[in-house]
Amino acid sequence: MQGMEISEQLARGSITFPDRSEEIDDLPWNEHPRFPGVFLKHLVKGVDTEGRLSCHLVRIEPRCALEEHVHDGQWELHEVLQGEGSFLVNGRETAYYPGRMAVIPKRAKHKVVAGSGGLVLLAKFFPALV
């Protein structure tokens, strides 16, 4: 696995739950209902965690964006896995690249824009988003 992007390693991995295991590659990509060029893979859902957290792979196509939005009831954690872009939270912009993480408080306006090569991140929500 040496030389493989972490997002590729994760995509070929699996998730172990107390009662089952799931292959991540078998889980579907879902188009974001509001933002074109943004796709979600729901790895862990609220039904799996008594609603306490959820975890999602987020793929943003080149030059597309998760436009400014707010989560009223969830804290969010981003972990950038692949690609590059920019992140804006409460008017503060920062670069996104592999290894960058961002903590987003509930009710904080935020936006993610992918660069020319696209962007893949892991988004975790507390409590669960879905």
pLDDT tens for 73-93 read 999 999 999 999 999 999 999
Q: H-helix or E-strand containing 49? A: none
Contact 89, 113 (CB under 8 A): no
SS3 104: strand
Cβ burial 79-93 (10 Å sphere, 16+ → b, else e): bbbbbbbbbebeeee
- What distance lies between CA 11 and its chain's CA centroid? 13
User: Tens digit of pLDDT for each residue in 20-58?
Assistant: 999 999 999 999 999 999 999 999 999 999 999 999 999
User: Tens digit of pLDDT for each residue in 111-124?
Assistant: 999 999 999 999 99
Task: Report domain extents, the chain.
Answer: 28-126
d(CA 114, CA 102): 15
pTM of the model: 0.93
Query: Could you say which architecture CATH assigns to the domain 28-126?
Result: Sandwich (2.60)
Contacts of 94 (CB under 8 A, 6+ apart): 86, 87, 88, 100, 102
